[in-house]
Structures are given as C-alpha cells and as structure tokens.
Copies of this chain bind each other. A is one copy, B any other.
Amino acid sequence: MSGPRTPEPALGGQGASSTGSQDEDTADGIQSSHRMLSFSDALLSIIATVMILPVTHTEISPEQEFDKSVQKLLATRIAVYLMTFLIVTVAWAAHTRLFQVVGKIDDTLALLNLACMMSITFLPFTFSLMVAFPEVPLGILLFCVCVMAVGAVQALIVVYAFHRPHLLSPQIERSAHRALYRQHILGIVLRGPALCLAAAGFSLFFYPVAYLLMATVIFLPYVSKVAGWCRARLVGPREPPAHSLEIFTFDLHEPLSKERVEAFSDGVYAIVATLLILDICEDNVPDSEDVKVKFHGSLVAALGASGPHFLAYFGSFATVGLLWFAHHSLFLHIRKATQPMGLLNTLSLAFVGGLPLAYQQTSAFARRPHDELESVRVSCAIIFFASIFQFAIWTTALLQEGETLQPSVRFGGREHAFMFAKLVLYPGASLLAFACTCVLSSFSTAIFHAMQIAVPFTFLLLRLLVRLALAGLRGLRGLRGPARPTHTRPVPGATDDAQSPLLPAPC
C-alpha cells in the first residue's frame, strides 16, 4: 500500500487520491467552534479558581496560634492563587482573541487547542514551585517553558488556519490583506512567549530580572488596558489610525465576546459554589469512633457540633449564588462587553474565587469568640470587593451607555433604579456588617451566616422596595420638574408604561 497522495490506478478507479484528497479534506470536518470554546472556557475558569483550595486547606490546629509561619504560608498560597488567576485570565483573553480570528475549526485545530489547554493547566504548578523556592530559578524556567509552549501551539493554530482560509472568520477570509493580518496576529500571539524566552535566559544567571519580565507578561495587559481607558476618559478617544494600521484594528479594539465572558464567569461561579460542598463531605462526616466516645453514640449530637459549618456552607452558597444572579441580571442588560468591563469582571471574579476562603475563615474560627470579629471582617471585605467591582462594571457601562446597554436600563430607563438596587445590595450589606463588627464588641458568625441566607428574600422583595422607595422620594420632593435633559430621550417600548418611575412626565 502506498500513501494516499500517490495515484493508485490499480485500486479500481480510486486513482484521484492525490488531487482529490485536498478538496475532500477542506470540505470535510469543518465544524462550528462553539462547543470547543465553551469547553475551553469551562477548563480555564476551573483552573483559574481551583488554586484557592490549597489556601483554604491551610491547616490551623486549634492549639496553634495564628503566628508568623502560618501567616506566611497563607500569604504565599494567596499569592499563588492570585497569580494563577491573573495569568489564566490573560491566557483566556488571548484565546478569545485568537478564536475571533479563527472562526471555524476542524479536528486538527481541536487537538491543537487541547494541547494548548494542557500547557495552561500546568501553570499553577510552576507558581507553586516559584513560591516554595523563590531563589531557585527552576520554577520561573518551567513557567517560561509553559508560556512558550502555549505560544508555539497558538502560533501553529494561526499558521494552520491561515493556510486553510475557510477556517478564518469571514471578514478576514475575504480581506485582501490576509498576509498582513497573519503577521500581525502572529506578533500578538508570540509577544508573551518572546518575553518569556528572555526571562528564561535571565533566570539562568540573574533571576530578579526574570521575575520582572514575568510580571510584565502577567500585568502588562492589565496596565495597558487601564492606561488606555484612562487616557480615553481624560483626553478623549484617540484619533483614528492611518490606513495602514486601520486594517489591524479588527481585533485589537474589538469588544470582548459577551458569550465567552459569560461562559467564563459562569464557570468560576459554579466551581466556587461547589468547592464548598467538597470540604463539607470530606471534613464534616463524623468519625464513628468519635461518635461513640464523645457523643455517646448520638449522631445528631455529633452533627450538631459541626452545625456552624453547615450554616457557613449555606450562607456562602447563597452569597455565591446571588452574586451570580446579580452578574446574570447585569449581563442580561449589557449588549457589548468592552475591555475595561472585562477587566473589572476579572477583578470581581478573583474576589468571588476568594469566597471559599471567607467560608473557611468564618467556619474555622467559629469557636473562638475573639477571632470571630476578625473572620467576619475578612468575609465582608471579600464580599464587598466582589460586589463593588460588579457595580463598577455597570458604572463603566453607563459611561458609554448608548453602545453598551440595552435601552431599558440606561440612565432614566425603566429598569435603571431596579438594576441599581440589585447591584448596590451586596456592597451595602457587607459594609453594614463590617461597620457592625467595628461597633460591637462581639459579633456572632452565626448571625452573619443567617444574614447571608436572608439576602435572597431581600432580592425577592427588591422590586417592591425599589418602587416604594421611589414613590417615597417622589412624594417627599414633589419631583415633577424637568430632569437632566440629555437622559430623557424616549425609551422604545416604554411609552405605554404609565408608571416608569424615573421617566418624568412630559411638561
């Protein structure tokens, strides 16, 4: 048997192999990339979040003080978690970008994507190594090798896709400047790996520079996004680029894909919500010996002893669930997710990932009254930051509301006040709880968790409360005069709504 690319006239009229196989391959196996992207999003969101587990598993035995060594261990593990989260979100953003260019996949691309994912899953280990042995260059060397592997696979994907243009997104497939696009995208994909190559070199003889370069790889995308956004706010949008550059803007300033932002966020929320039950199942099933000896054979009493853990679990689940709910409501009203919104979303998710830590804090210390205040404060701070960044997403969206928001939630829109209330509920509640810990001399974690579990009912009543509050405001102020005129434009579909609370009656 010879290879399929050589003509084989002996095989019963099947001699068209060499000329036909190319055509057949190109016609075969072209697939929508949708499911592969969801799978990648799920993988990446889990990897980003799973490193919180070693943080929460930091063992603090009851007789041991919360001393320096434990603090150091905890701090290093939190550092690993945050670094992993940031680098994975950078990788995710690059992946999103790449598959905005590559519109369709075939089997080869699906397998290459798996190779890319495998390299990314190894990144947390390199961080663990770096943090455990900061002065040994092996960790950073492995990190660089991983990033270079990811870059190499992504470069392969780009080259392969441009070699078979029907896999590209239609806009690029039809473009006359395809070769230029390819150069440019290869440049973007290989920028990070090139920095890492330099870092790998430095790591062998002067590792502080290597760490500096690594920090550049991790933080530069964020810094440049923030800087660009601030400049746009202060100076106004930059002048449109010249023609030769304009063709490249396809992807650089394009908003993120809203679907993928949602999928990634869903993954993070789902894994955070379920990591908690794992701890419950592993740690809170009482030992049968213990039950006999300590609790005189009463399983109920034994479970009652770990009652605070269950309360903490349900409280945390309610918090994660409702933060997801707020996120869901928010993105329902968002039409486009811009880069700064994506950044704020990442920050919010990083704190959401910290919630199992808050759970651990509040449940581990639940027995020692003088630590309760401390642990409730940590929980409140984490919840506050997770929710305030959600609020910031909305504020950012309001700044460009014409482009980013659905008409009904724009300033003065029907749903505006309700959305505002939804997003302000958690920052407000956590600030309140934090303030309580400062005023009161002792604060029970049980009350805190009961509060967490009560929040859903507030959400259910929110629509009622908002309407009451607005009616109250209106009644008190007799507010009927003209509001800010730029925001009173009629909202489509809302004209038949006689009681839209923020739309002033026409005067």
Contact = CB atoms under 8 A, between A and B. Distances in A.
A285 interface: yes
B4 A281 contact: no
A129 to B, nearest CB: 6
Interface centre among A11, A47, A291 (most CB of B within 10 A): A11
24 contacts: A3-B468, A4-B471, A10-B475, A12-B478, A14-B471, A14-B501, A28-B414, A35-B328, A42-B42, A42-B271, A46-B270, A46-B274, A47-B274, A50-B277, A107-B463, A108-B460, A111-B325, A111-B456, A111-B460, A115-B456, A118-B318, A121-B273, A121-B317, A128-B285
A42 B266 contact: yes
A291 B135 CA distance: 13
B138 A299 contact: yes
Interface residues of A, number: 106
Given A115-B456, A266-B39, A467-B4, A282 B325 contact: no
Interface string A222-259: 00000000000000000000000000000000000000
A475 B53 CA distance: 58
A243 to B, nearest CB: 40
A47 B282 contact: no
A125 B309 CA distance: 12
A195 B317 CA distance: 28
A233 B126 CA distance: 54
A314 B118 contact: yes
Contact of A474 (B12, B115, B274, B456): B12
A456 B317 contact: no
B266 A499 contact: no
Contact of A24 (B132, B266, B499): B499
B266 A38 contact: yes
Contacts of A274: 43, 46-47, 50, 121
A36 interface: yes
Contact of A281 (B124, B291, B299): B124
Given A8-B471, A274-B47, A505 B328 contact: no
A247 to B, nearest CB: 33
A395 interface: no
A138 to B, nearest CB: 5
A448 B45 CA distance: 30
Contacts of A25: 463
- Stoichiometry, as copies per complex, reads 2
Interface string A409-436: 0000011000000000000000000000
A459 interface: yes
A465 to B, nearest CB: 10
B35 A266 contact: yes
A153 B498 CA distance: 34
Given A4-B467, A10-B475, A328-B36, A267 B42 contact: yes
Nearest to A500: B24
A53 B306 CA distance: 22
Contacts of A281: 51, 54, 124-125, 128
Given A16-B499, A35-B266, A39-B269, A285 B114 contact: no
A485 B471 CA distance: 76
A57 interface: yes
A39 B328 contact: yes
A270 B39 contact: yes
Interface string A107-148: 110110011011001101100110011001010000000000
